[in-house]
């Protein structure tokens, strides 16, 4: 169902890899709600994914950009404003990567070159994106910038590895840059802390199936799907949430406020 929530709004969506990704589903929903956007991903991710198919479905243009490169980001922002015919109303940062996770290195045995690369892609890139938008005065007043995060930034999930640190930094950057973006340009910046979601990136984490099942049993509403998250992002891009900024917004079926659930207790009582 469409409510025309984003009619006339223009934006940039980072990180749509394939149909499982939250960014992909967000692009579909933004399109349905009347928003126009440019799609972008790193050249290597574009070769792996099917972003051109999404571009056709949504009438969007694709601009390759390495989000860790200021030169690429400057080009992306300038070209986006040309294509969209003006300043930008919304941005989704849906990027994360850990080489340590991918190559099976334990948190206590990191390759620090890989750690640094992962931090640059997963967190510092968010600062670089916002700094580029800020310096180019590319955002309209009351625009909305969202980054996707996970609760491992607050609590220990042992196999989430150095991505937990990356997400903690990402959330801090959202608050710190969000202050200046709010004061000087009336732009709001928030992070959405999503349930574990079976995306291509999510499934790279060891023990992911157990992870997702546990969260589902702990959450009174169950896990939020990628499409649920896309719907939430649409509301955050809309004018209905224009006074919400500097927040880390839990979108997790209630998981973050549950100590233990009956289902989890039953599983342990059976084992006892």
List residues forming the annotated binding site: 15, 21-22, 95, 167
- Taking the C-alpha atoms of residue 25 and residue 17, their distance in angstroms, rounded to an integer, is 10
Of 107, 112, 160, 232, the active-site residue reads: 160
Q: Which helix (H) or strand (E) holds 188?
A: strand 188-194
**Cα angle value 124/188/85 (rounded, 5°):** 90
Binding residues for NAD(+): 15, 21-22, 95, 167
Of 134, 150, 179, 214, the active-site residue reads: 150
30 φ, ψ to 5°?
-60, -45
- Taking the C-alpha atoms of residue 115 and residue 138, their distance in angstroms, rounded to an integer, is 31
Structure token digits, residue 260: 């233990």
| 112 among known catalytic residues | no
- Taking the C-alpha atoms of residue 42 and residue 68, their distance in angstroms, rounded to an integer, is 9
Contact assessment for residue 85 and residue 144, using Cβ atoms and an 8 Å cutoff: no
| 232 among known catalytic residues | no
**Active site positions, annotated:** 150, 160
């Amino acid at each position: 169902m469409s409510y025309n929530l984003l009619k006339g709004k223009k934006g940039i969506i980072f990180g749509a890899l394939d149909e499982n990704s939250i960014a992909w589903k967000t692009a579909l929903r933004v399109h349905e709600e009347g928003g126009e956007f440019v799609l972008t991903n790193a050249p290597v991710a574009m070769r792996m994914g099917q972003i051109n198919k999404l571009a056709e479905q949504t009438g969007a243009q694709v601009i390759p950009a390495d989000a860790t490169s200021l030169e690429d980001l400057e080009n992306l922002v300038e070209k986006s404003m040309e294509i969209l015919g003006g300043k930008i109303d919304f941005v989704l940062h849906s990027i994360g990567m850990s080489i340590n996770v991918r190559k099976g290195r334990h948190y206590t045995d990191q390759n620090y070159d890989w750690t640094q690369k992962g931090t640059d892609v997963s967190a510092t890139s968010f600062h670089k994106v916002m700094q580029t938008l800020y310096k180019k005065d590319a955002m309209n007043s009351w625009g909305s910038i969202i980054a996707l995060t996970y609760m491992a930034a607050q609590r220990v999930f042992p196999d989430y590895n150095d991505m937990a640190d990356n997400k903690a930094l990402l959330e801090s950057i959202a608050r710190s840059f969000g202050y200046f973006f709010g004061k000087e340009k009336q732009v709001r910046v928030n992070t959405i802390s999503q349930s574990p979601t079976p995306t291509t990136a999510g499934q790279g984490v060891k023990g992911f199936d157990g992870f997702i099942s546990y969260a589902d049993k702990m959450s009174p509403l169950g896990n939020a799907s990628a499409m649920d998250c896309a719907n939430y992002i649409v509301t955050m891009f809309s004018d209905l949430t224009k006074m919400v900024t500097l927040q880390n917004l839990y979108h997790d079926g209630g998981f973050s406020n549950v100590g233990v659930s009956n289902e989890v207790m039953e599983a342990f009582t059976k084992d006892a």
